[in-house]
A and B are shown apart, each in its own frame.
Chain A
Amino acid sequence: MSAIVNGAGKVVDFVDERITASNWLKRNIRKVFPDHWSFLLGEIALFSFILILLSGVFLTLWFKPSMAHIVYDGAYTPLRGTGMSEAYASTLELSFEVRGGLLMRQVHHWGALVFLAAMSAHMLRVFFTGAFRKPREMNWLVGVTLLFLGVATGFTGYSLPDDLLSGTGLRIIEGGMLAIPVVGTYLSWLLFGGEYPGDDIVSRLYPLHILLFPGLIILLVTVHLMLLWYQKHTHWGGSGKTNKNVVGAPFWPVYVFKAGGFQFIVFGVIILMAATIQINPVWFWGPYDPAVVSAGTQPDWYVGFLDGALRVMPPWEPEIFGYPLTLSVLIPAIILPGLILTPLALYPWIEQYATGDRREHHVLDRPRNQPVRTGIGVAFITFYLQLWIAGGNDFFATVLDIPVNWITRFIQFGLIVLTPLSFWVTKRICIGLQRRDRDTLLHGRETGVIMVSPSGEFSELHEPLDPHSAYDLAFRERQLPIDPGPATDANGVPNPSYKANRRRARLSRFYFGDVVQKPTAEELEAAQHHELERGDRQQELTSGQQ
């Protein structure tokens, strides 16, 4: 035995004699992890989060979460003599008087942007491939919660340095809270310790940002990974890769080295970004002043859609019982996030209701083979992107040299028209791709060789697929819409659950009514027979020419 195994053996021996570790190790150390680039998105999220934690701890050593008023006397001369909060002054100290402080601030901020982007991309991957299906619905819920917590942590962090941008962000949050019926005014009063902005908010957001939210994230990430570990990773189906197995590399050593190495790659890329791309230079914005705003500044990307929604919302404010109901703020700031998160969280059950499918699924769907699900996903992306563009409509107005009002009007229109249109277009594209897959399976691959028959008919030579590709292409389920059954039984007695069945059948038809089925074995055989005949004819023609 090598030294390393000997050394590890001593540790294992110690632990094993206390908690029977070998039993668990034996079953898990060679756990199989399948490989695919899209499985790395979640890893990026995990590793960027670790880097955020590390850089964040560094920042807390200098940052003072206090809004006490001081007159700046630090190293950055342009602001000397300016009144500001201790929070802002300590952010300046971190940037200008601590070597590596600016780097850590930028690592922290870039890390947060990457973290949220990776979480979002990971969630889209899980959605489009159907990895949320049974038995992984619980983990999907954990993921949705993590995304929410990620945004909450990001936003509370954005508000801490008490610079002009962070204060303006808080002002918008205050406006959103005030729009909440009945309790809004008092909620804001409690959060800010009286009138806006007060001198409490930074020290109140601080424990949320460095303790509560990250603590919950660590907890849920642990649950997320334990569930993943226990249920084993999904994989792409194909020859030898079924719903009953998992094929890939062992955890120790290949996966440990690949994922561990990837962690350092993610670290390295974010640190290089922080070294070369400036982010949030708070000394330019200046300390927060509620009477000053800087035009053309953008929030962090993950809040952009909310800001855009605030911009494109029509000015609706009906009165109920003599009280104003500020829908123009309430809908985009409070209702919209709920309207996005709730169906997102419930989606696995919605689809399960439509499909009536209660089986375990461990093989991923190709997005084209779920045209309706893919369409819903793309429609959501279209909706989100439009709001996101609206969040930067002043920027786009400058770039395109058109009035900003046009962009607002266009997006108001687009949200209603482009969103369903993108669903329909995506669904049609998916069905087209399914049809091509079916043709390829039936007739083989196009070779680009054109034949002319003696009668003058042109045709293209098709080459049969190799068995592996053919099998991979055919590896999907037949999805037939549910049949609601008859309204009355043979004796004319009405079926009491017929109405529910019909509702469900209608939804099922919406999902699977247009799906192009893969060929049956008989169809495949008939087509191959046909191709063979044609091949023979072509063979004859070719030999005839010689």
Chain B
Amino acid sequence: MSAKSEDMNGHSSSEIVASDRESTPASTSHEADPIADPGLHHPPPRLTDVDPKAERRAERQVAGMFSLASILLVLSIVAYIVFEIAPDDPDDGVSVGDVQISNFTLGITLGLATLLIGLGAVQWARALMKSPELVHERHELRSDDNIREAALADFETGTEETGFGRRKMIRNSLLGSLALLPLPAVVLLRDLGPANGPSPVDAKETTIWSEGVRVVTDVTFQPIRAADLELGQLVNAMPETFEDLPDHGPERINARAKVPVMVIRMAPEELHVAEGRENWHVDGIVAYSKICTHVGCPISLYERTTHHMLCPCHQSTFDLADAGKVIFGPATRSLPQLPLAVDGEGYLIAQSDFHEPVGPTYWER
């Protein structure tokens, strides 16, 4: 192998260029099985290598792409300035259309500019750069045995020098302290949870529903008169006490994740009343937790004719006419039912809190 050689692209270097090896195909037993290696197959020269016209054309293409990219980059700044999104009068609010125009013009100019820079560079490399096909030999990655042994010997010498094997007391006390090191790191995470207040298990077992709390409509917080509910009607409802919770802090949103109920009126004869729940409904008006017992999505799709309730997240389906039992899907537990009653003015109230925790199953339940 000569130190310097010229390949067909005029490339000069001391590398092993493919064309040099063509005449000496490798022929180990594997490579000659069942036919001998005919050596590298060279692609024919590119059009740009043989035709000066094609070469000039490719040059123009590349330069054109780069120049167009520059123009587009300037245009993107123009778009930034021209397509304002701030409204003339702050009270008016933004126009979503303006935002979309700004987004589109900025994105198109920047996107096309980067795309053209990329295409230009690739085209330059593909059509114009001298591109010798190089062959590099691989070497086995394993070190040779002498070096491996020498490294091992060095390691043993070092280990010997520490006395790690002999000084068992030091070694064991070190290992002991290192083993304990992760513990404080874990313990320090304890205060991720609140320091006081109810335990997680207690918190799961209670909600702000309690005896005599009025059932009010969600969003508008109007009390619900039992007589006003029509047959087949479903109302999303909340406890009246929810409104008093402070806006700030987690208390309100935490309650929001636990207390929503669905109040449905069905014909009393359609209702299959479970044992012990005989007085939980008011003339066929029942209330169930809205939080799915599978993984906690709010349930929302009600089929009026069958009283089936479907969770849109994973399609657990509950029969509201039959104690909220699961009739399809991955949920394992019935929807908790809220015992209802009416107060002196005819409004729906809760008899008590739920008799079981709402939401997904957890270990201590």
Contact = CB atoms under 8 A, between A and B. Distances in A.
B135 A264 contact: no
A460 interface: no
A416 interface: no
Interface stretch (B163-171, B272-280, B325-333): B325-333
Contacts of A283: 96
A343 interface: no
A106 B313 contact: no
B8 interface: no
B192 A247 contact: no
Interface in A70-122: 75-77, 80, 83, 95-97, 99-100, 102-103, 106
A248 B337 CA distance: 70
Contact of B94 (A75, A520, A524): A75
Contacts of A329: 294-295, 330, 360-361
Given A196-B257, A324-B365, A68 B248 contact: yes
Contact of B194 (A179, A193, A470): A193
A185 B362 contact: yes
Given A275-B107, A404-B315, A248 B133 contact: yes
B137 A76 contact: no
A204 B136 CA distance: 50
Contacts of A349: none
Contact of B115 (A254, A265, A291, A316): A265
A311 B329 CA distance: 7
B151 interface: no
Interface string A262-275: 11111111111011
B58 interface: no
Interface stretch (B195-203, B220-228, B340-348): B195-203
B297 A268 contact: no
Interface in B217-265: 218, 236, 238, 247-250, 253-254, 256-258, 260
A196 B253 CA distance: 8
B223 to A, nearest CB: 18
B99 interface: yes
A151 interface: no
Contacts of A195: 200, 203-204, 250, 254, 257-258
A499 interface: no
* B interface bracket (residues with beta carbon within 8 Å of A): 35 or more
Interface in A39-82: 67-69, 75-77, 80
Interface stretch (B49-57, B117-125, B174-182): B117-125
A337 interface: no
A46 to B, nearest CB: 14
Contacts of B248: 68-69
B10 interface: no
Nearest to B317: A405
B183 interface: no
A358 to B, nearest CB: 11
Nearest to B311: A293
A519 interface: yes
Contacts of B203: 194-195
Interface stretch (B18-26, B153-161, B208-216): B18-26
> Taking each of B25, B85, B236, which has the highest tally of chain A beta carbons within 10 Å of its own beta carbon?
B85
Nearest to A397: B315
A470 B121 contact: no
B78 to A, nearest CB: 12
Contacts of B123: 261
Contacts of B132: 249-250
B193 A193 contact: yes
Interface string B124-139: 1110010111111110
23 contacts: A69-B247, A77-B94, A97-B85, A99-B80, A102-B99, A171-B295, A179-B361, A185-B204, A185-B362, A190-B189, A194-B250, A197-B253, A240-B40, A240-B41, A258-B121, A265-B118, A268-B111, A272-B115, A290-B253, A293-B297, A315-B326, A324-B365, A523-B34
Interface of B: 13, 15, 18, 21-22, 25-26, 28, 30-41, 80, 83-87, 90, 92-94, 96, 99, 102-104, 106-108, 110-126, 129, 131-138, 140-141, 189-190, 192-194, 197, 200-201, 203-204, 218, 236, 238, 247-250, 253-254, 256-258, 260, 290-291, 294-301, 312-316, 326, 328-333, 359-365
Interface of A: 30-32, 67-69, 75-77, 80, 83, 95-97, 99-100, 102-103, 106, 135, 168, 171-172, 174-176, 178-186, 188-191, 193-200, 204, 231-232, 238-250, 253-254, 257-258, 260-272, 274-276, 283, 289-296, 307, 310-317, 323-324, 326, 328-329, 333, 360, 362, 393-394, 404-405, 408, 441, 467-468, 470-471, 474-475, 477-478, 518-521, 523-524
The 6 closest A-B pairs by CB, nearest first: A275-B107, A175-B295, A268-B115, A264-B118, A261-B121, A240-B40
Given A264-B118, A293-B299, 5 more contacts: A30-B15, A248-B133, A261-B119, A315-B329, A474-B33
